Amino acid sequence: EYSQVDGTPITMDLNGALEYAFKHSRDYMFAEEDYVIDVLNLLRERHLWGPRFFDEVTADITGTGDDGVFDTAFRLVNEYRITQRLPYGGEVSARALARVTEDLHERVVGEPSQSVDVILDARIPLMRGAGVAARENRIQAERNVAYGARRFERFRRDFVFDISSDFLNLVVLKQAIGNAEDQVRSLLNLTEEQRSRQNEGLTDVINSGLAEQRYLQALDSLNAQQERYRLAVERFKVRLGMDIDQPLTIVESTLGLPVPKVALDDAVRMAMSNRLDLQTRRDQLNDAMRAIRNAENGLQPEFDIVGSLSLPTDPDKARSGVDFSPGDGEFAAGIRFGVPLDREIERVDVRRAQIAYERAVRAYDEFVDTLAVSVRSAVRDIDRAKFSLAIQAKGIKNATERLEATELDETATARDRSEAADDLNRAKNDFDSAFRDLQLAVLRYILETGQLRVGTQGQFLPLEGMTIDPLEDSARDRILDQGMDVFDLIDALGGSSATGPAESTTPANPNPSEGNPADGGS
């Protein structure tokens, strides 16, 4: 009853799964939003470096007592202000200050007073807080956007690998169910045959009972595999962002990637040139070095140039409007020097920045070594998967011949035939797993060397010279039925290995925020 579903099922192959995941997956949305947040942080920081406008209105009432008689006044102040940060430190501002004051105690005979002042202020640091250190927040925000673009693009590539891996695992589980059903049918025929032979007195209860026991075990195993498949499909729906109540039919399909021929050293060099996360690590070393220079800037004394200019309206008029009086203006200019008597905290900050840089260098070296190991492992995994596939193909042939021989041999016992059926089932499952492992090994190699390119809809973009030829559903059985040589079989699984990812002359875009929009960088 658990296999009964309501509604029209969605039929999905690998490309359909990738497209659906790129549109609906929560993980993809989270990663995309992380990149958007980096961009928003940059926009916020850039806004701080542009002209900023402020307008503040203050209204208050004051009272001064004299023997119980209070002289009260109402005051209204409007301050309109514009500020602008300077590129290498400091700030300039312009203010328009309008005041209106009315004596409430004498409001019958008096009239309110009004004045306006225009004030210009400037502060320019020459030592501490000057230069590149003043723009650190903006510089880092801009670099974080580049890092975010690379991180998001790297996530998209990892995401394609993860979804492909999950999908191909489902295909293997589905194929295992088909293999188990074949085994159950074979053991059922054996059980019925042994019962018939027992009734005719041609065999004993031991053989018939053994055949029935193996049949029941296979039936139980089939039921367990079906449940594992249902659970895996539901988890896959969650990964895709699909409603778990939506029926889903998995169509057996493959990546169809060609099997590359590449040397270990060539693969490592390719990864060192193409990997986006490695480029980010290199740039972060520059960030750590810049942090040292900024910390050293904090050791310098404060030495600023300051100035101000005030232009009031005519002070002799109670209500002067905008009748400015330059002759009554004020100006001030000077320097401000702060003697660096206490810089202990700043010296600690410098040492902390130096340690952070040394740690970043060691972390970078470790990342490079780890990357080289990972790439070499990916290359060796291709060879291992090819060898395993050849072995499993040979195993299917041997298991099939053994089963056919036991069926023709009248002296073969129920144990012989049931074990032959079990061996054939395991051989088929091992072959299907090896088939999947080879495709994933090739995809992982392309991913680890930084060559994987992903379209906006999650489609795999082949490199120059690469031919993608996915095999149809019956390809596995057709190839095995034809009795192909195992290495010819490997070529059939992935297309010609003469041209592959390793021979592409198209360099990876080091910064996805520049260049190919299909990479989804910006």
Rounded mean pLDDT of the chain? Answer: 85
- Kindly report which listed range (101-105, 137-141, 206-210, 479-483) carries the lowest average pLDDT score: 479-483
Interacting residues of 287 by C-beta distance below 8 A, sequence separation 6+: 140, 143
pLDDT greater than 70 at residue 304: yes
Residue 327: per-residue pLDDT:
82
- Kindly report which listed range (34-48, 272-286, 477-491) carries the lowest average pLDDT score: 477-491
pLDDT greater than 60 at residue 47: yes
Share of the chain above pLDDT 70, in %: 86
pLDDT greater than 60 at residue 92: yes
pLDDT greater than 50 at residue 503: no
Average pLDDT (404-427) is 86
Distance (Å, rounded) from C-alpha 374 to C-alpha 449? Answer: 9
pLDDT greater than 60 at residue 260: yes
Q: Give the residue, 73 or 311, on which the prediction is more confident.
A: 311
Distance (Å, rounded) from C-alpha 489 to C-alpha 468? Answer: 16
pLDDT greater than 60 at residue 471: no
Average pLDDT (48-71) is 84
Rounded to two decimals, the pTM is 0.82
What would the 3-class secondary structure string for 457-511 be? CCCECCCCCCCCCCCCCCHHHHHHHCCCCHHHHHHHHHCCCCCCHHHCCCCCCCC
Tell which residue, 365, 341, 360, 364, has the closest CA to residue 292: 360
Residue 228: per-residue pLDDT:
96
Transcribe 246-278 into DSSP letters. S-EEEPP----PPPP---HHHHHHHHHHH-HHH
Residue 496: per-residue pLDDT:
38
Q: How confident is the model at residue 461 (pLDDT cuts 50, 70, 90)?
A: confident
Residue 8: per-residue pLDDT:
86
pLDDT greater than 70 at residue 4: no
Interacting residues of 362 by C-beta distance below 8 A, sequence separation 6+: none
pLDDT greater than 60 at residue 522: no
Residue 374: per-residue pLDDT:
96
For residue 159, what are its two tokens?
């995401």
Average pLDDT (91-115) is 77
Average pLDDT (335-354) is 94
